Amino acid sequence: MTEYLKPIPIPSPDSLPFWEAAREHNLCMQKCRKCHKYWFPPSTLCPQCGNKVYDWVNTSGIGSVHSFVIYHRLYHKGWTAEVPYVVALIELDEGPRLYANLVDIEPDEVRCDQKVKVYFDDVTEKCTIPKFRPLNASPD
């Protein structure tokens, strides 16, 4: 594995299950036991109904592009080989939205509402970052 030059996410106690699941190549989020809604980012109570009882549940990893930006400017040397690159707000089919890199597509071909699927980039031995690519480009 080549040296990884980008910042590594530092899990909080609330987000640790998300990152541990990512290492196992699962996109896992909290799901309320009362109203059955998923939510993200992680928190200790359901943002829909305030219930404090939830489970960590694997999602489908399938969603759509809600919005996106194309970074043409280099803000960190770790991305030197990647500009321009896409950061998208992905809306999962289960409802929650999360920011992620959208890859395996030319930036000027990205469209809102296009279907995407998660894949897991094992950037170091201890860190896996969920990213997305067009659903029709996913090998699995």
Between 32 and 65, name the residue whose CB sits nearer to Zn ion: 32
Query: Binding-site residue total for Zn ion (CB under 5 A)?
Result: 7
28-57 positions binding Zn ion, by CB under 5 A: 32, 34-35, 46, 48-49, 51
Distances (CA, A) of 109 to 62, 70, 86, 97: 19, 11, 11, 21
**Residue 45 Cβ, how far from Zn ion at the closest point, in Å?**
8
- What's the residue count for the chain? 140
Between 35 and 135, name the residue whose CB sits nearer to Zn ion: 35
Q: Strand, coil or helix: what is 125?
A: coil
Neighbours of 102 (CB within 10 A): 22
Between 42 and 130, name the residue whose CB sits nearer to Zn ion: 42
The answer to whether 101 touches 128, Cβ cutoff 8 Å, is no
**Residue 38 Cβ, how far from Zn ion at the closest point, in Å?**
10
**Residue 95 Cβ, how far from Zn ion at the closest point, in Å?**
12
Helix (H) or strand (E) holding 70: strand 62-71
54-113 positions binding Zn ion, by CB under 5 A: none
Query: What's the rounded Cα separation, in Å, for the pair 11 and 15?
Result: 6
Under the rule (CB under 5 A), what is the footprint of Zn ion? 32, 34-35, 46, 48-49, 51
